[in-house]
Amino acid sequence: MAMTNRTNHIMQENAKKKLGGTTDCIEKLRLQCLSRGGSGIMGLARQFKIMDDDGNRSLDFKEFMKGCGDFGLQISKDECQEIFNAIDKDQSRTLDFDEFLQALRPPLSNARINLINQAFIKMDRTKDGVITAEDLKGVYNVSKHPKYLNGEWTEDQVFAEYLKTFEVGGEVDATVSSLWPHIALSFQKGSMLRPPFWEMLFFTYLDARTNKRILIFTKTQVTKEEFLNYYSGLSASIDSDVYFDLMMRNAFKL
């Protein structure tokens, strides 16, 4: 179950309206992320991962402030410091990624977290801790997808479209997208690039304007953290616990 365009738009507008009325710095940061849609929190998390050169999953204050600025968040230095101090409870002068994301995500009840975890476990058919196109083949039936029915898309393209839900702002993985922008190339059909080379799927379509094949890259795996970040955003757009429970159970057949 991915967020529909309408649900995404409603969530963005609600977040923008609430922004003017909040004085809590963490809430302000959260609302700015949600105003970018369901993938907003994932986007900020990915921005910080890019900056985490040594891979220790933590940032100092300068890195934190730079990451917020690079992501385009409207937040002052004093507000950054207030957020940093609130999350850095052990006064280590560093922010742990997991603690930061836990504070940033919209509040989730244990029941909702449990549903999201159940959905991830079911989707991760191979039990390797990530959802891939191979996993989707076991649990996601493409036969009723309209573009599959009319022959416009292959099965892999339908899977890629679902995985694109977890991309940020229409961009793919930052390292790959910077090396491989959407380039017009004369490929005849899509292929799969398997790890450890790239964790990306590419396929092509014919651009009617240029009559050239366009090479499109998209994610081929989603981590549990990305899954939780995305569905916490979706959860924020649904007030009723009963309705959220019903949608998750119906979507993932839990």
Q: Comparing 15-29, 133-147, 158-172, 236-250, which segment has the lowest mean pLDDT? A: 158-172
pLDDT band at residue 79, thresholds of 50, 70 and 90? very high
pLDDT band at residue 194, thresholds of 50, 70 and 90? very low
Is 253 part of any domain? no
Q: Which residue has the tokens 């190339």?
A: 185
Please give the helix or strand (H or E) that residue 132 lies within, else none. Answer: strand 130-132
Q: How many separate domains does the chain show? A: 2
Q: Comparing 77-81, 93-97, 137-141, which segment has the lowest mean pLDDT? A: 137-141
Q: Comparing 1-5, 116-120, 168-172, which segment has the lowest mean pLDDT? A: 168-172
CATH number for the domain harbouring residue 147: 1.10.238
Same domain, 154 and 78: no
Is 254 part of any domain? no
pLDDT band at residue 209, thresholds of 50, 70 and 90? low
Q: Which residue has the tokens 């969530």?
A: 11
Kindly tell me the burial class for residue 45, based on how many C-beta atoms sit within 10 Å of its own C-beta (0-12, 13-18, 19 or more): buried
Is 231 part of any domain? no
Kindly tell me the burial class for residue 188, based on how many C-beta atoms sit within 10 Å of its own C-beta (0-12, 13-18, 19 or more): exposed
Last residue of some domain: 104, 130, 149?
104
Kindly tell me if the per-residue pLDDT of 47 is higher than 60: yes
Residue, of 212 and 171, whose pLDDT is higher: 212
Mean pLDDT to the nearest integer, 96-122: 88
- How many Å apart are CA 142 and CA 136, to the nearest integer? 9
Percent of the chain past pLDDT 70, that is, above it, reads 73
What pLDDT sits at residue 198? Answer: 31
Q: What is the mean pLDDT of the chain?
A: 74
Is 247 part of any domain? no
Beta strands across the sheet bearing 191-192: 191-192, 200-207, 212-219
Same domain, 36 and 124: no
Radius of gyration of the chain (CA): 19
Q: Which residue has the tokens 């907003």?
A: 40
Kindly tell me if the per-residue pLDDT of 172 is higher than 80: no
Domain that holds residue 81: 5-104
Is 248 part of any domain? no
Mean pLDDT to the nearest integer, 156-175: 57
Mean pLDDT to the nearest integer, 181-209: 37
Does the N-terminal peptide bond of residue 181 adopt cis geometry, omega within 30 degrees of 0? no
CATH number for the domain harbouring residue 34: 1.10.238.10
Kindly tell me the burial class for residue 95, based on how many C-beta atoms sit within 10 Å of its own C-beta (0-12, 13-18, 19 or more): buried
Is 242 part of any domain? no
Last residue of some domain: 104, 125, 144?
104
Same domain, 118 and 219: yes
Are 95 and 234 a contacting pair, CB within 8 Å? no
Residue, of 154 and 122, whose pLDDT is higher: 122
- How many Å apart are CA 201 and CA 166, to the nearest integer? 14
Same domain, 121 and 158: yes
Residue 136 phi, psi dihedral angles, 5° rounding: -60, -30
Same domain, 75 and 153: no
Q: Comparing 65-74, 133-142, 220-229, which segment has the lowest mean pLDDT? A: 133-142
Same domain, 131 and 87: no
Same domain, 127 and 211: yes
Is 187 part of any domain? yes
What pLDDT sits at residue 5? Answer: 66
